[in-house]
Structure 1
Amino acid sequence: MSQDVLTTETNRRQLQQIIAGLTDGVILLDPDQCILWANDAALAMHGVERIGDLGANAKEYAKRFALRYRNNHPVPAHSYPINRVARGETFSDVLVEVTPAADEETMWVHRVRSLVLADNRGEPESLVLIMDDVTDWASAEQRFEKTFAANPAPAVICRLSDLRYIKVNPGFLEMTGYARDQVIGTSTYELDVLAQAENRDLAKQCLRDGTTIPQMQAELQLPAGGTKQVIVAGQPLELHDEACMLFSFVDMEPRRKVEVALRQSEERFAKAFRLTPVPTLVCSASDQVVIDVNDAFLDTLAYSSEEVSGKTIAEIEVFHDKGARTRFFTTLEKTARLDRVDVRVRRKDNELIDCAVSADTVNIQGSPCYLLVLMDITERKRTELELVAAIEEVMKDASWFSRTLIEKLANVKNVNAPQLPSVSFTDLTARERDVLELICAGLADKEIAARLKLATNTVRNHVATVYSKLDVHSRSEAIVWARERGLFSSAWRPKTQG
């Protein structure tokens, strides 16, 4: 064996001993592309245990392992790192995905560099591939890429070394109208995301220092002209071993539109509230504290604004009847609205007025409130009472009226007011029911006494008891009560004049 060959073999053994324990994977090749040796790390990075499983040479290696670039494009066989080093090329930081041909589910990511060792004459003597297993790093980066792209919040990433944007997500493109190639590679001087920032000097200093940029309002220039109000924040991070700044944004335009619409709605409500001639008040739903009243309310109830604002409905005694007030708000809490409930309202001077009160639940600045509208029906009530009194006067002897006339008179008396629970027909005794039936038939007390073979005074006592139990005060009201419940339909027949 010649001295040169012996020297070469000795050098290789020493080299192998040196690199055998390295965590980096190392593969040695002859200039004729034969794979001579690989350390354990290189074998593990390919999922094999013997050097022969890598293939005898570069050509067999290409058959046993499929390589792809990180952009998912296949690596042509002539561009495999093992072929490139066999041609004597030197390169560094080539990222490839390595998949065994026999197991397409398994994949590693290698960062590969080459080394050409020359003999003392300068001729290539050994070719070396050195690789790092960066699968975990690549997986984390891939997850980041997917998360960044899927994040609905607009974002861009700027490289701090040259202040150029290297990544942009769809959210930013959609918000601004920029195309991807209008952002990638552009400097922060050309597309300044911190323009018009409320604390621009602080933001720029944080960007230069690579520290967190706190949230602040800013204004983005749009490619089609004009600007967009945003909230911007910056978070430093490392990407591809380079210091970067992640800018994230909140589009203020939807919020601004909502605020404008809300303000306009509130202005319209305020104008309608002030100008309506009907007394109206707004109180909190929780404790009925008066929040606001209109001029018609103040004029009608003779209060000043200071005397009612901040007071509860109970304190200013708007409702004459405390029980009616309790029932009103209890029902309103359950139903959320009421329509034309008859209520007696007390003015500041203690004069009572009859009102039909309607109420609805509204939200004001996020809090539930009640809107009460008071329609003064005092004159209408007075007219109705006068009409009812006249009806009762002429109906004292109902025997003179036909069924049709009694029904019409009953309709006149029937007012639109909330019906309260009343006594049941079964609460009357049998004799009282007989008396009520004959009242509805239009008989006078003497006629009822004759029909039931009772004394007139006894009939009058029964009539008084019926009135008390039914909470009515006259024959006409008793007839209306029975008619509304469909009682004694056979009793409704015309009276014949004798």
Structure 2
Amino acid sequence: MSQDVLSTETNRRQLQQIIAGLSDGVILLDPDQSILWANEAALAMHGVAQVSDLGANAKAYAKRFALRYRNKHGVAVDSYPISRVARGETFSDVLVEVTPADDEARTWVHRVRSLVLADSRGDPESLVLIMDDVTEWASAEQRFEKTFTANPAPAVICRLSDLRYIKVNPGFLEMTGYSRDQVISTSTYELDVLEQAEHKELARQRLCEGATIPQMQAELRLADGGSKQVIVAGQPLELNDEACMLFSFVDMEPRHKAEIALRQSEERFAKAFRLSPVPILVCGAADQLVLDVNEAFLDTLGYSGEEVRGISIAQIDFFEDRHARIQLFAALEKTGSLDRIDVRVRRKDAGLIDCTVSADTVNIQDTPCYLLVLMDITERKRTELELVAAIEEVMKDASWFSRTLIEKLANVKSVNSPKLPSVSLTELTARERDVLGLICEGLADKEIAARLKLAPNTVRNHVAAVYSKLAIHSRSEAIVWARERGLFSSAWRPKGQR
């Protein structure tokens, strides 16, 4: 054996001993393209147990393993890293996906570089492939790529070394109208997302330092020459082992339009609130503190704005009946709205006004509030009461009343307005219901006593109990109360027709 051959064999054994324990995968090839040796790391990266499983040479390797680039395009056989190094080429950082031909479910990602070892005469003596298993990194990058692309928030990524954009997602393209080719590889000086930033100098400084850029308002230039109000922020990250900056954006146009619409709506409400001739009050739902009242409210009740704004309705005490106020707000809390509830309101000078109250729940600056609208019905009430008083006067002898007239009385007395929850017929005793029924027939106390075989005083006591429980004050009101609820209509017959 010649000295040169011995020297070559010795060098290879020494080289093998040196690289056997390396974490990098190493494959040695002879200049004739035959695979001589591979360390354990290289075998593991191909899922094989011995060198022969890689194939005898570069051509055999290409039959056993399919290679693709990261864009999923297949690698031509003569472009395989093992084929290129066999031709004596040197290269670095070639990323390929490696899949066994007999097991397509298994795939590794290798970052490969080559090394050509020459002898003393400069001729190739050993060809070396050095590879890193970057499967986990590639998988993480792929997940990031999917997340970045699917993220609805507009975003771009620029490389800090040259401040050029290397990635852009569909959200940014849709928001700005640019095409992908108009953004990728473009300098941040050409497409400056910080040009009109609220704190441009701070943002520029942070960009140069590769530090986080806090959220700030900015005006972004669009592809059509227009501009858009946005919130921009920058987050440093590493991508492909390079320092980068991720710019993310929030389109402020929808919010801006919503704010304008809300402001216009509030302006319309404020004008209607101020100019309405009907008294209106707004109070907090939780504490019933008066937030605002209109001029009609102040004029009608005789208060000044300072005397009511910021004061609770209970403290102002303009409801004549405290229990009616408590009942009204309890019903409002339960149902959220009320329609034309009869109340009596006390003016500052102690004068009383008959009103109907309509109320609804509104949100003001995200706080639930009640809007109360008061309608003065004092004149209408006075007219109704005068009519009822006249009818009550003639009803002292009601024996001649017809059924039709009694029904009309019920219609006159009712103002067709919903009432707050009141007493029901079930709260009367059986005897009190009998008495109420006979009142509706038009019988006087003595006649009721004779019909029920009771003493006149006992009948008067039952009548008083009925008045108290139903919150009424006369026989006509008792008849109207019963007619409004459809009670006793089938049993009622006027005197002289029984």
| TM-score range normalised by the length of the shorter chain | over 0.9
Superposition pairs of residues 315-330 of structure 1, within 5 angstroms: 315-330=315-330
Distance of aligned partners of 1:127 and 1:491 in 2 relative to their CA distance in 1, 3 Å threshold: closer
CA distance in 2, matches of 1:425, 1:212: 73
In structure 2, the partner of 1:422 is 423
In structure 1, the partner of 2:206 is 206
In structure 1, the partner of 2:473 is 473
In structure 2, the partner of 1:4 is 4
The 3-state SS of whatever aligns with 1:350 is coil
In structure 1, the partner of 2:163 is 163
CA distance in 1, matches of 2:422, 2:251: 57
CA contact (8 A) 1:403 1:495 kept: no
Please say if 1:247 is aligned against 2:247: yes
In structure 1, the partner of 2:117 is 117
Superposition deviation, residue 140 in structure 1: 2.1
Report how many aligned residue pairs link the two structures. 497
Q: Which moved more, 1:253-262 or 1:359-368?
A: 253-262
Superposition pairs of residues 257-336 of structure 1, within 5 angstroms: 257-336=257-336
Distance of aligned partners of 1:77 and 1:392 in 2 relative to their CA distance in 1, 3 Å threshold: same
The 3-state SS of whatever aligns with 1:45 is helix
Superposition pairs of residues 85-484 of structure 1, within 5 angstroms: 85-415=85-415, 416-418=417-419, 420-422=421-423, 424=425, 427-428=428-429, 430=431, 435-444=435-444, 463=463, 467-468=467-468, 470-484=470-484
**How large is the Cα RMSD of the aligned pairs?**
2.4
CA distance in 1, matches of 2:497, 2:84: 128
- The one-letter amino acid of 2:377's match is I
In structure 1, the partner of 2:18 is 18
Superposition deviation, residue 491 in structure 1: 4.2
CA distance in 1, matches of 2:41, 2:301: 94
Distance of aligned partners of 1:102 and 1:417 in 2 relative to their CA distance in 1, 3 Å threshold: closer
Distance of aligned partners of 1:147 and 1:275 in 2 relative to their CA distance in 1, 3 Å threshold: same
CA contact (8 A) 2:341 2:420 kept: no
CA distance in 1, matches of 2:449, 2:18: 133
In structure 2, the partner of 1:30 is 30
Superposition deviation, residue 497 in structure 1: 9.3
CA distance in 1, matches of 2:144, 2:75: 24
The 3-state SS of whatever aligns with 1:375 is strand
- The one-letter amino acid of 1:395's match is M
Deviations 1:87-106 (A, max 9, x none): 22221111111111222222
CA contact (8 A) 1:422 1:470 kept: yes
Distance of aligned partners of 1:457 and 1:185 in 2 relative to their CA distance in 1, 3 Å threshold: closer
The 3-state SS of whatever aligns with 1:422 is coil
CA contact (8 A) 2:442 2:495 kept: yes
CA distance in 1, matches of 2:429, 2:205: 91
Deviations 1:284-332 (A, max 9, x none): 1111111111111111111111111111111211211111111111111
In structure 2, the partner of 1:73 is 73
Superposition deviation, residue 472 in structure 1: 3.6
Distance of aligned partners of 1:61 and 1:204 in 2 relative to their CA distance in 1, 3 Å threshold: same
- The one-letter amino acid of 2:30's match is D
CA contact (8 A) 1:361 1:369 kept: yes
Unpaired runs of at least 5, structure 1: none
CA contact (8 A) 2:280 2:374 kept: yes
CA distance in 1, matches of 2:220, 2:303: 53
- The one-letter amino acid of 1:414's match is S
Deviations 1:132-152 (A, max 9, x none): 222222222222222222222
Superposition deviation, residue 456 in structure 1: 6.6
CA distance in 2, matches of 1:167, 1:465: 85
CA contact (8 A) 1:423 1:469 kept: no
CA distance in 1, matches of 2:437, 2:353: 37
- The one-letter amino acid of 1:69's match is Y
Deviations 1:340-367 (A, max 9, x none): 1111111111111111111111001111
- The one-letter amino acid of 2:107's match is M
Superposition deviation, residue 122 in structure 1: 3.2
- The one-letter amino acid of 1:142's match is Q
Superposition deviation, residue 458 in structure 1: 7.0
Superposition deviation, residue 401 in structure 1: 1.7
Q: Which moved more, 1:280-289 or 1:4-13?
A: 4-13
Q: Which moved more, 1:25-34 or 1:355-364?
A: 25-34
Unpaired runs of at least 5, structure 2: none
Superposition deviation, residue 467 in structure 1: 4.4
Distance of aligned partners of 1:332 and 1:423 in 2 relative to their CA distance in 1, 3 Å threshold: closer
Q: TM-score, normalised by structure 1?
A: 0.93
CA distance in 1, matches of 2:34, 2:279: 101
CA distance in 2, matches of 1:343, 1:429: 31
The 3-state SS of whatever aligns with 1:161 is coil
- The one-letter amino acid of 1:366's match is D
- Identity of paired residues, percent? 80
CA contact (8 A) 1:67 1:75 kept: yes
Please say if 1:61 is aligned against 2:66: no
- The one-letter amino acid of 1:276's match is S
